[in-house]
Amino acid sequence: MSIAGKRVLLIISGGIAAYKSLDLIRRLRERGASVGCVLTRGGAQFVTPLSVSALAGEAVHDDLFALTDDSGMGHIQLSRQADLVVVAPASADLLAKMAAGLADDLASTLLLASDKPVLVAPAMNSQMWRHAATQANLATLRGRGVRQVGPAAGDLACGEVGEGRLAGVPAILSAIETILGAPQPLAGRRALVTSGPTFEPIDPVRYIGNRSSGKQGHAIAAALARLGAEVTLISGPVALADPAGVRTVRVETAREMLAAAKAALPADIAVCAAAVADWQVVNALPQKRKKEAGAPPPVIELAANPDILATLAAPGPLRPALVVGFAAETENLREHAAAKLARKGCDLIVANDVSPASGTFGGDHNSVVLVSATGAEPWPRLDKDEVAARLAAWIAAALTEGDKI
């Protein structure tokens, strides 16, 4: 896989492992990539700008304010000119800044301004690595589409033994090659993805909702974007960060979700992963319902919500070429999914088992069966990110080869 001609922006933050980034620069250049380098203040304590610039063959950037002298090369351009931003080593401090969206020095500012894929290679003391704050920061970053390589386990510079060593240069190189060399079969295609629950208000403080976390739908949006699609993610209320490289539209009710989905047309691909509430409250009140002593409990009147999947799948000039629905079932998975495929008019149903024993709702894994007109394809129990990656690849194959549907 060649990375010749690609440009990597390498951010070197503080840590004894910073010296290994010098070798990384050499290896990248040997492979024909150009490397722009940014040294954080911490990074400059461990490697000198002179050694970095000598290996990179170009000037090092190490101060936000130096850029004001150079009007053509602000932090925005610095990150935009790169194909990939690599943070190696990524200190606990810089990871925390990235998770919080801080922009108080050159490295954090261009990470916030970047629209390119980001790969982090964490390196730190094992206690710092295991700390809940670091793990939460990385989970946030991964949720936004940031890729991670390492850390490895072994002897640490602080004298302790454990996890926290910078991944080896070969492992970092191979992660870079995977990202930069990845094919983009969905380049030029537009996709819309619905995700999460919808909330149907009863009054300004109460609503009818469900337990969908949005993890699967958000992962699918990110996976389609990684294959080059221009993705609009229409998300109900979720506690997840907006994925990187995706346009996210936040909605609350099913009607808002339908309006946002229609606004995202025309599209080549529609994936309806949202757990849309089946009913809306007709007698919702603009003020909070009050308890009245001795009065009977209120009666909530419901009316059917629009079916977003069926609306998108209906024949017409704006129907996406591939419409994918999900079926959340607790029993007779395949039969119910096949019936849903016909009823909704879509091309594929991803049927998943949401019985309480499956742990699917809110969990990190999913057991799915793909049901289309050509039959059923059961997949093994997989991480939701893995389900998303495989589904995006399935969609790309179906659209480009036309062999699935």
Residues that bind ligand CTP (CB under 6 A): 194, 254, 272, 274, 276, 278, 305, 307-309, 325-328, 340
d(CA 110, CA 343): 48
Name which of 144 and 384 has its Cβ closer to ligand CTP.
384
Q: Which of 226, 218, 227 lies closest to 271 in space, CA to CA?
A: 218
158 is catalytic: yes
Name which of 207 and 326 has its Cβ closer to ligand CTP.
326
Name which of 269 and 276 has its Cβ closer to ligand CTP.
276
Cβ contacts of 363 within 8 Å, gap of 6 or more: none
Minimum CB–partner distance for residue 371 and ligand CTP (Å): 12
Burial class of residue 360 in the structure, from the number of CB atoms within 10 Å of its CB (0-12 exposed, 13-18 middle, 19+ buried):
buried
Q: Which amino acid is at 147?
A: R
189 touches 229 (CB < 8 A) = yes
Name which of 110 and 264 has its Cβ closer to ligand CTP.
264
Candidates 37, 158, 272, 346; catalytic one: 158
d(CA 319, CA 50): 57
- Beta-strand (E) ranges in 61-149? 84-90, 118-122, 147-148
Q: Give me the DSSP letters along 333-367.
A: HHHHHHHHHHHHT-SEEEEEE-SGGG--TTSSEE-
Minimum CB–partner distance for residue 341 and ligand CTP (Å): 10
Minimum CB–partner distance for residue 300 and ligand CTP (Å): 18
Q: What is the layout of strands, in order, in the sheet containing 84-90?
A: 34-39, 7-12, 84-90, 118-122, 147-148
Tokens encoding 283: 């007698």
Q: Which amino acid is at 286?
A: P
Minimum CB–partner distance for residue 299 and ligand CTP (Å): 22
Name which of 174 and 358 has its Cβ closer to ligand CTP.
358
Minimum CB–partner distance for residue 361 and ligand CTP (Å): 12
Cβ contacts of 77 within 8 Å, gap of 6 or more: none
**End-to-end CA gap in the chain:** 31
Name which of 149 and 234 has its Cβ closer to ligand CTP.
234
Minimum CB–partner distance for residue 218 and ligand CTP (Å): 14
Minimum CB–partner distance for residue 216 and ligand CTP (Å): 11
Name which of 90 and 312 has its Cβ closer to ligand CTP.
312
* Gyration radius of the chain's alpha carbons: 24
379 touches 387 (CB < 8 A) = yes
Catalytic residues: 158
